[in-house]
A = this chain, B = another copy of it.
Amino acid sequence: MTARVTMRDVARALGVSPMTVSRALRADRTVSEETRARVRRKADELGYVYDTTAQAFRTQRSGFVAVTLPSINNANFAETFASLSRAMEGQGRQVLLGSTNYSAAREEDLVRQLLARNPEALVLTGGHHTAEARALLRGRGLPVVEMWTLPERPLGHAVGFSNAEAMGRVVRHVVQTGRRRLAYLGTSGDTDVRGAERKAGVLRAAAELDLPHVVQLDAGPAPVSMAQGDAAVAGLGRAVAQFDALLCVSDPVAFGALSACQRLGLSVPDDLAITGFGAFDVAAVSCPRLTTVTVHAHKIGQQVAEILHDILDGHGGHGLRQVDVGTALVVGETT
């Protein structure tokens, strides 16, 4: 184990002071271009690697932004994370990721862990937090951004869309195509905030259309997979055709339901319409293609990044921002 190469070493090798090296390796204009080039070259030559830990310590700015996601095994969350991550990199920041498994208690633990790393901001996926977690955040005076929902009592900034409204659009669409016997296939428990909002949106929209009797089916606790959608419908058997539209909490569930219908010999959409949510890849490829809702996962990441940039790099940022990125209905072949 050779000793670490530090700025001092680079400085000594060049006969300059460590300060000059420090300046040369950052975007500090007060160093001559020539010196900067020499420092860069020598640093590479010696295999010098900048020590962000030391910098973070000295400047009291960690360069971290902490992010919690319910699950990274979800194409949409993954996309948001990727776009946020890339944007942060452009700002010279790094993202610290934690996954809550759709549990508020787990989120609290995670927040504690992440806070010990001195992040400059915290990005949480949507709405439901323990009282303890809320207190922790308030106490810190740390910038907070919630994403993927637009909470009624936001902790800070928010970038998201209305899950309920999007589901309302889906309901109106299937009703327009003549369906009236609706069922909603969703997640159980109240841990999945977005799932709960979607369910509420379905019920509200249905009530507005004089369809108070939406049957609620349960695919299990979040995260719900294709297999669970499949199992839920297979469990019902051909009795599922008592409905003429099955609205699902997400595309994976919808696809599972679709496959189960195909195995039952039911025709989609003739015997039963099916809708998903999230515009996952599978929606555009399955046969028939799923009717779904596009959420702008990528844009959510970008918007969050923009807010963070404004707050952290000082360009304005007074007042809390609430950004609605909207959604769009994608009519496929299952309705």
A: residues with CB less than 8 A from B are 1-2, 4, 47, 49-54, 56-57, 60, 62, 71-73, 75, 78-79, 81-82, 85, 89, 94-97, 99, 112-113, 115-118, 135-136, 139-141, 225-227, 229-230, 252, 255-256, 259, 262-263, 281-282, 284-287
A128 → chain B closest CB, angstroms: 21
Other-chain residue from B47, B73, B78 in contact with A139 (beta carbon distance below 8 A): B47
* Interface of A, helix, strand, loop or mixed by DSSP: helix
- Taken together as a complex, chains A and B put the C-alpha atoms of A141 and B3 apart, in Å, by 10
A112 / chain B contacts, CB cutoff of 8 Å: 49
Q: Are B285 and A259 in contact (CB under 8 A)?
A: yes
Q: Are A99 and B117 in contact, with the CB atoms below 8 A?
A: no
Residues on B with beta carbons closer than 8 Å to the beta carbon of A81: 72
CB–CB A47/B2 < 8 A:
no
- Of B53, B139, B225, the residue contacting A53 (CB under 8 A) is B53
- For the complex of A and B, 6 pairs with smallest distance between CB atoms: A73-B78, A226-B285, A52-B116, A57-B57, A262-B287, A259-B287
Question: Which B-chain residue is minimally distant from A5 (CB atoms)?
Answer: B139
Interface pair B263/A227, CB less than 8 Å apart: no
Q: A259-B285, A281-B226 are in contact. Are A94 and B113 (CB under 8 A)?
A: yes
CB contact between A117 and one of B2, B52, B140, B225 (< 8 Å): that residue:
B52
When distances are taken between beta carbons in the complex, the residues of chain B under 8 Å from A95 are 97
Question: Which residues does chain B contribute within 8 Å of A263, judged by CB atoms?
Answer: 287
